[in-house]
Amino acid sequence: MNDKPQAQYVRLGDLKFDPRYQRTDNINQARVNDIAKNYDPAAVGAIYVNRREDGTLFVVDGQHRVLAMRKKHANDIGENYQMLALVYDGLTIVEEARLFWHQTKRTAVSATDQYTARVAAEDPRMCEIREIVESHGLKISRNRGKNQVGFIKQIEDRYKKHGAEFVDEAIGIMADGCRMGSSYPTVFIFIAICELLRNYDPGQYDVDTLIKAIAKLNFEAFNKQAAGFVMMLGSRDRSLCQALVIAYNKTTKGGKLPDVNTLGGVRKRSK
């Protein structure tokens, strides 16, 4: 990557966005309006731009500022407005995505949008998580619905703590249970499954029974039941696990799982 961008003014009408690593829909219009109303170039600073090999200028960081200037100057100089930019020359799309990812780590960019950028940047961890999720017929998305997964932060947290095999098992159980019950995956079910896998040995439970228990769940009732255990168990995660244990015990025709609060410690899983 060329790590020495040049400061220069660029024409507003020449700037483009690449949807492969940053969103071009569902823009935070309130933020755009606020920037347009209170814009101070000296305080906001330069946007980051890459000039690709064909000469096209793509905004890497500064999307809301560009949209704000298009709004602010729509009735005067419009697309001829000049914006201060730090311009790279000849970055690849992967390098653009990496730069976007690093520039937006401390901003309000959502975890799902960060995921999109990191996949485009060929981040190994996110690419493996995507492969795991999609292998079970699911897709990481900011939308909520059947076969849609939006809780990428929680998935990455478990990946970092327990490894790819653990996450693959948890997502597989969740996907099969939701598919059998014609419901959509939720972060609460995912956390509950992860906690059950952590707290109980494989010989204590039957995976097929666990999947059937998930398929039968009324998610609203499940969440309310879990909330009732928080004071006793001390954490939301253990409370969700306890609610899933109860659902499992109602479904199983074999041995029942002991309550979470009777366990001496958390079973360790190696990566």
**Whole-number Å distance between alpha carbons of 205 and 178:** 19
Distance (Å, whole) CA 225 – CA 229: 7
| Per-residue tokens: 269 | 């899983």
Among residues 214, 183, 180, 181, the alpha carbon closest in space to that of 197 is found at 214
pLDDT higher than threshold 90 for residue 161: yes
Q: What value does the mean pLDDT take over residues 104-113?
A: 73
User: pLDDT of 198-227, one tens digit each?
Assistant: 999 999 999 999 999 999 999 889 999 999
Question: Is residue 164's pLDDT more than 70?
Answer: yes
pLDDT score, position 169: 97
Q: What is the pLDDT of residue 53?
A: 93
More confident residue, 99 or 268: 99
pLDDT category at 141 given cuts 50, 70, 90 is: confident
Question: 235-254, pLDDT tens digit by residue?
Answer: 999 999 999 999 999 999 98
Burial 87-115 (b: 16+ CB within 10 A, else e): bbeebebebbbbbbbeebeeeebeebbbb
> Mean pLDDT over all residues of the chain?
89
Distance CA 93, CA 98 (A): 9
